[in-house]
Amino acid sequence: MPTTQPTRVVVIGGGILGASTAAHLARSGAQVTLVTAGSLADGASGRSIAWLNSSGDRSAEYHYLRLLALDRYRTWSVRHPESRAYLRFDGALKWAAPGESFRETFGFERAGGYDAVWLERDEIAKFAPDVNPDAVADEGAIFNPGEGWVSLPDLIAALVEEAIADGARVIEHAGDARVDVQDGSATGVVLGDGTRVAADRVVLATGPAVPAHLEALGVMVPDATPAAFVLFTDPVDVEVTTVLNTPRVAVRPTPDGRLVLDADWAEQSIVVGDDGALTVPEESVQGLLDEASKVLAGSPRLTAHHVGAGLKPIPGDGEPVVGAVPSVAGLYTLFTHSGATLGLILGELLAEEILTGSPSPVLTSFRLDRFGADAAPEAVPTGAWAPVPQR
């Protein structure tokens, strides 16, 4: 992409959004430093169900963005044949809870041209032989052949490797990194040890920490971030390829033969301590294992390997927040749910905006200023430092 001038960019955040943005910037010739408080992928990206989709009923603009996102994953899979180990499009199956119906959802998806097939129970084995047909709703299920999953830690590692090959510098375990704001502009980042990294542009891609970080600069972003967890099983003896989104459990495989499980009801059981520590009840862990066993063919015995608990980034209105922070020149942000699906496309489009100075029309609906006056502070003090909580 053409650039307006050589640009030094510091990207804060070692998850999928930060890694993708850094890789796209470095690929286009920017001088990039990627900074993360701990290790790469040790935050929300390391505990994601990572279902790649544009399933269900959503705004036309958001649906279009997600379709572009799926397109970029397919391009990645062709250019990186080795990604077959951690990126798959073997389809996804979903069905409604008792007393509910997915017929309208199916109609919405088909009306928009989304690849969706309605399956009766006796058709399940043909499309998803790893699923127990008896667990499916009486009315049937929706199979989306074009959906899939990704192992984000593996993708992040590949993106960072490319970024480094293109000249990027990566600083892990940077501690409490801070954005230095001088005369209303982001001029760099100060690491936890006091080291300053100068920059022309700074990108905040710190997952659930973004709202607090912006609030420290006087910028308010509606935040619906909950505590959440996923459960990683021990390796299973059965082959599971289909992503499952069922009323009681979501399931997807991993590159090393495990399963990743989550569910809304389990998420709501998390106990948040006064110090912010998260405790996942043992009965929720066992409940997820039992529910997953029920929906898999042969009802295999599943055991827990470990739990990944933390905050799940979700903007207040559920849609992405992407682009420049209007009140702080040179500062950009990425804050979204579905970071797995959106990771490649948002990194690409934001990098292009930074380097060309031209906002992407695709992102018009997802700007920070859609939240109105609360998103624009009266003033940002010179020398303000906004701390980035651990991710």
pLDDT digits (tens, 9 = 90+) for 114-141: 999 999 999 999 999 999 999 999 999 9
**Confidence at residue 158, expressed as pLDDT on a 0 to 100 scale:** 98
Distance CA 311, CA 315 (A): 12
In whole angstroms, how far apart are CA 56 and each of 4, 109, 123, 142? Answer: 39, 6, 21, 10
Cα 142 from Cα 201, distance rounded (Å) = 44
Instruction: Determine the 3-state secondary structure of 170 from DSSP.
Output: strand
CA 375 remoteness from chain centre: 23
Q: Which mean pLDDT values do the consecutive 10-residue runs of the chain (391 residues) have?
A: 71 98 97 97 96 93 97 98 98 97 96 96 97 98 98 98 98 93 95 95 97 93 97 96 98 98 97 95 98 98 98 97 96 97 98 96 97 54 38 28
Give the SS3 label for residue 314: coil
Which among 329, 330, 326 has a CA at the least distance from the CA of 7?
A: 330
Task: Report pLDDT for 2.
Answer: 54
Instruction: Using alpha carbons, list the distances in angstroms from residue 112 to 58, 60, 94, 232.
Output: 11, 9, 18, 34
The domain over range 8-46+153-221+317-387 is classified in CATH as 3.20.20.80: no
**Do 8-46+153-221+317-387 and 92-145+226-311 have matching folds?**
no
Answer CATH for 92-145+226-311 from 3.30.9.10, 3.40.190.10, 3.40.50.1100, 3.40.630.90? 3.30.9.10
Tokens 């930060």 correspond to what residue? 18
pLDDT attached to residue 389:
34
Q: Which residues contact 195 (CB under 8 A, 6 or more apart)?
A: none
Domain residue limits, the chain: 8-46+153-221+317-387, 92-145+226-311
| 7 Cβ contact partners less than 8 Å away, ≥ 6 residues apart | 25, 30, 31, 200, 201, 354, 355
Torsional class of 91: left (φ above 0), alpha (ψ -120 to 50), beta (otherwise): left
Q: Which two tokens stand for residue 369?
A: 């200023």
